[in-house]
């Protein structure tokens, strides 16, 4: 009995250590997600009201998984409390620049992220982003869902500095990763994130491309849980169905806890997959002035920024992205 008790104690310590490593972003021996089924409970029917422009509601909810954990969907954000990123194009606020030359950078506040050099980030997200530099939250997207907007953030930092981004593909059917679209009640929407960071002389020092790291933390809808393939920290949903349906209320979703320090410069993201890049056509921005009006910065031939996400642009709804600028 004494030997058994000692063994159980050792086993418990080993389990606790493994969980600590997992939550801190280190190597995981097991990467099993928590699964939920069906719709979430709405806790906020609409985060954001847009007057004078066509907009989808931006609800938030909670859902409990099979293992008893409570999850916020589509994501637990700082939208209601954090500083909103300045507008590059925003129908809801009335900012509708036709080209980048109309932007007066002197009117954009510069946020101190620990340094002396000033940088400017130009961002377009489908749908929502939160931007960190050196572990400091600099700003969040001004619009959680639609209409599509673009943003500009200025900050001071010393090189090297670390960029960390939370990207969220919003949803109307909470917990089910879908929306009403194209006359279908459960349509899995797509996502995408593109950014360009320039220095004080206008030179591009970083742009989204396949060198970034991108990790998935919420995947839905899943009409068959077995379609999800896990290997190390690779969470592959490429074999899962993406078809729109009229009734997806019984579908499932996969959730993973986010490491508490995922945005910190010292966080080890080496085991995360590299970002997948997508073309403008795949993301579908040809009818979105928030992007098209600023192609001279987003699609600069000398430093073309690419849309990035996890490997699944449709089903992966909460993705964390990181890049260190040397």
- Tens-digit pLDDT profile for residues 100-153: 999 999 999 999 999 999 999 999 999 999 999 999 999 999 999 999 999 999
pLDDT single digits (tens) 71-101 = 999 999 999 999 999 999 999 999 999 999 9
Least confident residue range of 9-18, 27-36, 303-312: 9-18
Least confident residue range of 22-36, 48-62, 178-192: 22-36
Cα separation, 30 vs 271, whole angstroms:
13
Cα separation, 154 vs 109, whole angstroms:
7
Q: Sorting pLDDT into bands at 50, 70 and 90, what band is 24?
A: very low
Q: Sorting pLDDT into bands at 50, 70 and 90, what band is 163?
A: very high
The average pLDDT across 318-323 equals 98
Assess whether pLDDT exceeds 80 at residue 28: no
pLDDT of residue 81: 97
The average pLDDT across 153-162 equals 98
Assess whether pLDDT exceeds 90 at residue 285: yes
pLDDT of residue 30: 59
Least confident residue range of 15-29, 116-130, 234-248, 300-314: 15-29
Average pLDDT value for the chain: 92
247-257 in b/e burial notation, b at 16+ Cβ within 10 A? ebbebbbbbbe
Check: pTM over 0.85? Answer yes or no.
Answer: yes
Q: Sorting pLDDT into bands at 50, 70 and 90, what band is 29?
A: very low
| Contact indicator for 217, 320 with CB cutoff of 8 Å | yes
The average pLDDT across 191-214 equals 98
Assess whether pLDDT exceeds 60 at residue 17: no
Six token digits for residue 93: 């606020």
Q: Sorting pLDDT into bands at 50, 70 and 90, what band is 15?
A: very low
pLDDT of residue 126: 97
259-287 in b/e burial notation, b at 16+ Cβ within 10 A? beebbbbebebeebbebbbbebeebebee
Q: What does the CA dihedral 102, 300, 167, 249 come to, rounded to 10 degrees? A: 100
């Amino acid at each position: 009995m004494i030997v058994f008790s000692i063994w159980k104690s050792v086993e418990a310590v080993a389990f606790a250590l493994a969980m600590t490593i997992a939550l801190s972003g280190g190597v995981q021996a097991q990467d099993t997600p928590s699964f939920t089924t069906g719709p979430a409970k709405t806790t906020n029917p609409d985060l954001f009201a847009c007057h004078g422009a066509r907009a989808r509601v931006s609800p938030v909810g909670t859902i409990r998984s099979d293992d008893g954990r409570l999850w916020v969907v589509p994501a637990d954000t700082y939208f209601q409390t954090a500083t909103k990123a300045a507008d590059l194009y925003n129908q809801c606020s009335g900012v509708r620049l036709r080209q980048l030359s109309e932007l007066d950078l002197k009117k954009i506040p510069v946020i101190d992220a620990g340094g002396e050099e000033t940088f400017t980030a130009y961002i377009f997200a489908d749908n929502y982003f939160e931007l960190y530099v050196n572990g400091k939250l600099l700003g969040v997207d001004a619009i959680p869902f639609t209409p599509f907007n673009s943003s500009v953030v200025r900050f001071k930092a010393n090189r090297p500095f670390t960029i960390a981004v939370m990207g969220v593909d919003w949803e109307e059917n909470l917990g089910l990763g879908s929306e009403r679209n194209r006359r279908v009640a459960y349509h899995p929407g797509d996502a995408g994130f593109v950014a360009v960071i320039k220095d004080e002389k206008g030179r591009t020092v970083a742009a989204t491309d396949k060198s970034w790291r991108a990790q998935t933390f919420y995947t839905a809808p899943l009409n068959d849980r077995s379609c999800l393939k896990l290997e190390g920290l690779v969470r592959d949903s490429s074999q899962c169905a993406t078809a729109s349906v009229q009734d997806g209320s019984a579908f499932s979703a996969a959730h993973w806890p986010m490491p508490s320090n995922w945005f910190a410069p010292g966080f080890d993201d080496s085991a995360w997959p590299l970002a997948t890049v997508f073309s403008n056509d795949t993301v579908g921005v040809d009818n979105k002035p928030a992007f098209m009006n600023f192609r001279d910065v987003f699609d600069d031939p000398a430093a073309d920024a690419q849309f990035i996400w996890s490997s699944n642009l449709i089903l992966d709804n909460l993705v964390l992205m990181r890049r260190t600028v040397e």
